[in-house]
C-alpha cells in the first residue's frame, strides 16, 4: 500500500518550530491541551526570549537548511506505529524557521527570604 | 483557560526583571492547542528540492508493502526514510512570527495568541536512494508475452499490471518507473497492460527483421518502417514489429516524412550473444567468438565489450571460457550483490567487476568508493584484484 502526501488546495501555511531541551509535561495531571506554555518575546536585536513557568530561556532564530513538512493524519486512518509511516496524511504546513532554546534556563527568583 | 491579558504579560516581565524597552512590543502567548497531544502530526525533514516541489503544489508519496522498508517518492526521485531522534522537544506552532516579520508590519497587534499544534522528539529523515526497480522486472517476468499464437494468455491466471498498478507496487518515483519500463523494452499490449517479451519470441521478431534487411539489401542505417510492416505484417502483429524496431533501432523521420530506423549494432550483437550463451553453462571463448560473429547480421562486428554485464570471461582457465552472467539477475542490495559476486569468483579485477556493480552507485558515488567499502584489495601477479571482506561460506 502507499500513502499520499499532497499539499491539498491553496498555498502551504508556514509554521515555526520551537526547540526546547527536556520534556514537556502538564503542570497538573491531565492533558496539556489548552494549557499555557509561556510568553515568547524578542529583544530589539531579534533574540527570542521565552518565559516558561519560573524560567527564562534565551534562544536564537535559525533558518533551517533543510525545512520540515508537517504531516497531519487524516481522520479515520489506522494508527501507524513509529516504524510504519504508511497511513493517510496531508502536508499541512512547511517549517523553514526554528527558535532554538539551548541555553540553560535562568530561574526567575520571585522571593528572596531576608536573613534574620 | 482564558486568554492572558497585556497586564498579566507585563507583570510577568516585571517579575522576570526584563526591561520592556529592550523588547519588541509584540508578545506571543503560547499555549497547547486542543489536539496537541493527540500525536497526529509528524515532521518530515525535506531535502531542498522537495520543499520546492511541495510549494509548487506537487505531492509526495510513501511506498512500501509491510515487508519492505518505506521510501518517499517525489515525481522523479526516491528517498529512504529513517526516524531521527533528537534529545530535544520540537514544538510546531502555526502563526508564529519572526522578529523580521514583526518589524516589517508595524500595524500587527501586539498580543499574539499562538497555539501549539503538536510536538515530537523525533522526525523522519530522508536520504536520496536508488529506486528499487528490480521488482518491476520481476513482476513483468511473471508472465512474459510469447506472441499471439501462444495459448498461454487466454488461460493465464497471472496478474497483469497497468501503469497505476506498477506505481503503487514499485518503490520508486513515477518517472523512474516509466524510464525503467523503456530501458527493459516493455510494451503495452491490449493498450493497458505492461508486458515484456519472452526472450525467444523477441529473438524471433528480431530475426524476421534482420532477414528482411538482408534480403532487401537495406543499409542498417536506413530500415523503413512502412515496408517492414507490409512484408512482416502477415507473420506477426504490427505492434510487435514496430516494437522490435523501436527496441533495437533508433527511430528517425526523413525529409519526406517517412519513418526509418538506424539499427543498433551493439544491442543486436549483445542479444544474439545472449541467445547463444543461454544454451550451455560455459563456452570455449574462441569458439564462441567465431560462432557469434557468424550469427550477427552482415555488416555488424562483434566485440567482447558489447557483453558488459551480460557475460563473464574467464581468462585464467585454459582454454579461456565465457559464460552468461546477467547483472539484472543479481541481488539489488549492495552487500548481497558483493556476496553473490564473490561466491561466483573469489578475486575480481576492477575492469571485470565494474559492469556488475556500476548500477549500485548512488548519485555522485564512484565504483572505486564502492570497492573500498565492500571489498578488500590485494595484488595478484602484478595486477590489483578485489576479494571479499568476509569469509564466504
B157: confidence class by pLDDT, cuts 50, 70, 90: confident
**Contact assessment for residue B301 and residue B351, using Cβ atoms and an 8 Å cutoff:** no
Whole-number pLDDT of residue A82: 47
Separation in Å, CA of A106 to nearest CA in chain B: 10
Only one residue has cell 510549494, namely B55
The pLDDT tens digits for A10-65 are 678 899 999 998 776 666 656 777 888 899 999 999 999 999 888 899 999 999 99
The pLDDT tens digits for B178-226 are 999 999 999 998 788 999 999 999 999 999 999 999 999 999 999 999 9
What's the CATH code, domain B199-263? Answer: 1.10.10
User: B interface mutation test: which of A2, A8, A30, A86 has the most B CBs within 10 A?
Assistant: A2
A15 and B55: CB-CB below 8 Å? Answer: no
SS3 A41: strand
C-alpha–C-alpha distance, residues B382 and B220, integer Å: 43
Is A66 contained in some domain? yes
Whole-number pLDDT of residue A1: 45
Report ipTM for this prediction: 0.82
Is A2 contained in some domain? no
Strand partners for B111: B27
Is A79 contained in some domain? no
Separation in Å, CA of B360 to nearest CA in chain A: 25
**Residue numbers of the domain that contains A61:** 11-21+37-74+87-105
**Contact assessment for residue B86 and residue B122, using Cβ atoms and an 8 Å cutoff:** yes
**Contact assessment for residue A103 and residue A57, using Cβ atoms and an 8 Å cutoff:** yes
Cβ-Cβ contacts under 8 Å for A104 (sequence gap 6 or more): none
**Contact assessment for residue B320 and residue B313, using Cβ atoms and an 8 Å cutoff:** yes
Is A69 contained in some domain? yes
Whole-number pLDDT of residue A4: 54
Separation in Å, CA of B65 to nearest CA in chain A: 6
Return the residue of B nearest to A49 by Cα: B23
Residue B334's nearest CA partner among B47, B127, B132, B124 is B132
The answer to whether residue A74 scores a pLDDT higher than 90 is no
Q: Determine the average pLDDT of the residues in B171-175.
A: 94
Residues from chain B that touch A7, judged by Cβ atoms under 8 A, are 54-55, 57-59
The two most distant CA atoms of chain B are separated, in Å, by 100
B54 and A7: CB-CB below 8 Å? Answer: yes
- Between B12, B40, B89, which is nearest A24 by CB? B89
- Between B9, B83, B117, which is nearest A82 by CB? B83
Is A100 contained in some domain? yes
Which CATH number covers residue A54?
A: 2.60.40
Number of domains comprising chain A: 1
The answer to whether residue A83 scores a pLDDT higher than 60 is no
Whole-number pLDDT of residue A69: 93
Give, for A107, the enclosing helix (H) or strand (E): strand A106-107
Among the residue ranges A26-40, B69-83, B110-124, B263-277, the one predicted with the least confidence is A26-40
C-alpha–C-alpha distance, residues A60 and A97, integer Å: 10
SS3 A91: strand
The answer to whether residue A100 scores a pLDDT higher than 90 is yes
Cβ-Cβ contacts under 8 Å for B125 (sequence gap 6 or more): B45, B81, B82, B83, B84
The pLDDT tens digits for A89-99 are 678 899 999 99
Is A3 contained in some domain? no
- Between A4, A83, A102, which is nearest B61 by CB? A4
C-alpha–C-alpha distance, residues B302 and B296, integer Å: 8
- Provide the whole-model pTM: 0.81
**Contact assessment for residue B386 and residue B377, using Cβ atoms and an 8 Å cutoff:** yes
3-state DSSP of chain B: CCCCCHHHHHHHHHHCCCCHHHECCCEEEEEECCCHHHCCEEEEECCHHHHHHHHCCCCEEEECCCCCCCEEECCCCEEEEEEEEEEEEEEEEECCCCHHHHHHCCCCCCEEEEEECEEEEEEEEEEECCCECHHHHHHHHCCCECCCCCCHHHHCCCCCECHHHHHHHCECCHHHHHHHHHHCCCEEECCCEEECECHHHHHHHHHHHHHHHHHHCCCCCCEEHHHHHHHHCCCCCHHHHHHHHHHHEEEEECCCCCEEEEECHHHHHHHHHHHHHCCCCCEEHHHHHHHHHHHCCCCCCCCHHHHCCCEEEECCCCCCEEEECCHHHCCCCHHHHHHHHHHHCCCEEHHHHHHHHHHHCCCCCCHHHHHHHHEEEEEECCEEEEEECCCCC
Is residue A103 within 8 angstroms of chain B, CB to CB? no
Whole-number pLDDT of residue B61: 84
B89 and A92: CB-CB below 8 Å? Answer: no
Is A45 contained in some domain? yes
Amino acid at each position: 500500500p502507499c500513502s499520499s502526501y499532497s499539499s491539498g488546495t491553496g498555498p502551504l501555511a508556514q509554521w515555526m518550530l520551537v526547540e526546547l531541551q527536556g520534556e514537556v509535561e502538564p503542570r497538573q495531571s491531565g492533558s496539556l491541551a489548552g494549557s499555557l506554555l509561556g510568553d515568547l518575546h524578542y529583544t530589539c536585536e531579534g533574540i527570542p526570549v521565552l518565559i516558561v513557568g519560573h524560567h527564562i530561556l534565551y534562544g536564537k532564530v535559525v533558518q533551517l537548511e533543510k525545512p520540515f513538512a508537517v504531516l497531519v493524519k487524516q481522520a479515520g486512518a489506522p494508527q501507524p506505529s513509529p516504524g510504519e509511516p504508511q497511513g493517510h496524511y496531508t502536508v499541512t504546513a512547511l517549517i523553514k524557521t526554528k527558535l532554538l532554546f539551548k541555553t540553560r534556563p535562568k530561574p526567575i527568583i520571585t522571593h528572596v527570604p531576608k536573613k534574620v | 483557560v482564558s486568554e492572558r491579558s497585556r497586564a498579566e504579560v507585563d507583570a510577568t516581565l516585571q517579575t522576570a526583571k526584563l526591561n520592556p524597552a529592550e523588547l519588541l512590543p509584540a508578545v506571543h502567548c503560547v499555549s497547547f492547542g486542543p489536539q496537541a497531544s493527540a500525536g497526529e502530526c509528524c515532521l518530515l525533514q525535506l531535502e531542498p528540492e522537495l520543499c520546492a516541489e511541495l510549494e509548487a503544489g506537487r505531492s509526495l508519496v510513501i511506498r512500501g508493502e509491510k515487508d519492505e522498508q518505506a521510501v518517499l517518492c517525489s515525481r522523479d526521485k526516491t528517498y529512504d526514510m529513517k526516524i531521527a531522534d533528537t534529545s530535544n522537544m520540537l514544538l510546531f506552532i502555526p502563526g508564529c512570527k519572526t522578529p523580521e516579520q514583526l518589524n516589517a508590519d508595524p500595524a500587527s497587534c501586539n498580543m499574539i495568541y499562538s497555539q501549539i499544534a503538536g510536538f515530537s522528539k523525533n522526525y523522519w529523515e530522508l536520504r536520496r536512494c536508488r529506486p528499487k526497480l528490480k521488482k518491476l522486472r520481476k513482476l513483468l517476468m511473471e508472465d512474459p508475452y510469447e506472441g499471439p499464437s501462444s495459448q498461454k494468455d487466454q488461460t493465464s491466471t497471472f496478474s497483469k499490471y497497468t501503469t497505476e498498478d506498477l506505481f503503487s507496487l514499485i518503490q520508486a518515483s513515477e518517472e523512474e518507473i516509466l524510464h525503467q519500463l523503456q530501458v527493459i523494452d516493455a510494451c503495452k499490449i491490449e493498450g493497458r497492460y505492461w508486458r515484456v517479451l519472452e526472450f525467444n519470441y523477441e529473438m524471433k521478431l528480431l530475426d524476421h527483421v534482420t532477414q528482411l534487411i538482408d534480403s532487401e539489401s537495406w543499409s542498417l542505417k536506413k530500415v523503413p518502417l512502412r515496408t517492414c510492416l507490409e512484408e512482416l505484417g502477415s507473420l506477426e502483429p504490427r505492434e510487435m514489429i514496430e516494437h522490435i524496431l523501436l527496441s533495437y533501432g533508433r527511430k528517425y523521420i526523413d525529409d519526406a516524412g517517412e519513418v526509418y530506423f538506424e539499427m543498433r549494432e551493439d544491442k543486436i550483437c549483445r542479444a544474439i550473444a545472449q541467445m547463444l550463451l543461454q544454451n550451455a553453462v560455459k563456452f570455449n571463448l574462441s569458439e564462441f567468438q567465431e560462432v557469434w560473429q557468424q550469427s550477427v547480421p552482415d555488416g555488424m562486428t562483434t566485440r567482447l565489450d558489447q557483453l558488459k554485464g551480460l557475460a563473464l570471461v574467464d581468462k585464467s582457465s585454459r582454454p579461456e571460457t565465457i559464460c552468461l552472467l546477467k547483472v539484472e539477475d543479481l541481488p539489488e542490495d549492495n552487500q548481497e550483490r558483493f556476496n553473490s559476486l564473490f561466491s561466483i569468483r573469489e578475486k575480481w579485477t576492477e575492469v571485470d567487476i565494474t559492469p556488475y556493480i556500476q548500477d549500485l552507485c548512488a548519485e555522485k558515488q564512484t565504483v572505486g568508493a564502492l570497492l573500498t567499502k565492500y571489498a578488500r584489495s590485494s595484488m595478484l601477479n602484478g595486477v590489483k584484484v578485489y576479494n571479499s571482506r568476509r569469509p564466504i561460506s
